[in-house]
Structure 1
């Protein structure tokens, strides 16, 4: 009976751990709060045991759980030990962080190979795997900035950004309300809906289709920094001018994608509708719009990111004393880089949630499409 299984991540992690043992200590001598020998031994124990168990033929779920605990507990101990000793990390510290990262890599590989037995398990894996991947981006970021002593003004550690977010929740909430709930949402709805309506008209009227598409390609190439000041002069400094920028940025992607989607229905299906004596409206509602649904949702997902970018950039050219773009510009000038990164993080999370909601709606409404059934 086979007991051991070859895992190159586990073997390499074990090798890095052994090399780090010869290069101790983890932090340069003479620091005020060095990592204690007990914590150091616990880190070595976690990595070595996890590396050995990664070579066994235990069930993948059990092995992944062991690797998850070992890798993240070791990383947590190392990061808490380097806090307050910025720039004092020795090569052994980075070797152990790398070993823990390899174990997390092996954990993700095992989770990705598990065949889900239920819908809940499938959704759980889809959440856990990206979460581990994202967590290790932050762990490596934290270890690099604190262990390498990177100046705060150049790149603050994620922990400092998170602390700034917690301390500035009222300010961030006001900025989100001004930028996203007003400018982005209003501009997104107007831009996408008007682009969809005009696409229906362009599909119905040939000269509109031939005239609007080239203009759409031209307008979509306009730089935001050229459009935003004009919209501010036209609509004022409040959120209405930013919504106008969002409308311009989202209108033509929706127009072009919807027109292309309406042309996606096959000739055989159209001939079948004609044999049923269907008029244009019936063919549009029952055949062509369902066939265009993937194109329309593709435009909605593209516009979800364009809308956020457009609103934030537009706020650089005039806004009341609130808004994400305003805050980034002001705090950047004051060298408060942690606040700038806090706004960037909130914008990234908001955009990801926006995109995820649209993707969820797409899966619920176009479950019949081959692109959804096969994913």
Structure 2
């Protein structure tokens, strides 16, 4: 059965929004940078939040607003992942969960492995937790981005105490295989290290690609891993503040349960209400339509670049709505997003912020109308002619 793609809202309506995407730049700029999408909310989310506003239900978040059961059911239904609700704890957002877990398992100055190019806040949150970043870049093999397991093993043998994993990976859209994740767990366990896995992009894995939650990769992964995720990326709820920390062993569960009570108190009530609605079966059809829209756009970008910017290097991502594009062939320097913003009036994420491996790259946000994406590429291509 063919699924109709979700339709983005018109630009004139989107420009009435007050979020970062629509308030950072003037109206002549097409904003394809920060990870916000241009689609209407799922109906179940809209209805739940409308009811809360009508009731004046704007107080403190209760001890269990339904998040645990909702996420456990969602994980089983969408991913085949059996999660014990008792091993789920909420917090404000994914990066806060990552920081608090790292802070609990590290000593000041411990090294934490990250795999750049990677989501820029990874670098900051390691430092916030008292750790030191150890870079083990992804490796490019036969057109695929892979974790450098040999490099990770060397770093752990040299004293690194944790791996901060992005699964699926941002910005490349890579979905790590079960075999790779299981081997990562073995390596970490052999050196007494832990893996903290940011899995916020999991709902956005395209049909035909198999997402493996890190905690399910192997019994070893279950023992040494922590997963942190949220409905915020897929369902565009970043401003409402709710994420979950998930464990699969008594030892890791004890670490999360020992976190300060304030970590859970920071969960936003509207975030919790929206997450429960997002993870409900009523929102599944909306998510499937979103995936169809993103599938169209990720392929459209490939066509547009091939026609108008043939020297750009782009690999269609397996997951997410973020596209990692290498523009070094255009000769626009280490930070081409600066010139593109100034001269084409298109805002993209700046590649060097993802690590040194991002020099000459940009990150496109594909969560928009096809017409907006087309206009953005046309504007950028015009720079070649001007």
Q: Same fold (TM over 0.5)?
A: no
Greater fraction of residues in strand: 2
Give the TM-score range, shorter chain: under 0.3
Calculate the TM-score normalised by the size of structure 2. 0.24
Q: RCO higher in 1 or 2 (8 Å CA, sep ≥ 6)?
A: 2
Calculate the TM-score normalised by the size of structure 1. 0.24
Rg bigger for which structure? Answer: 1
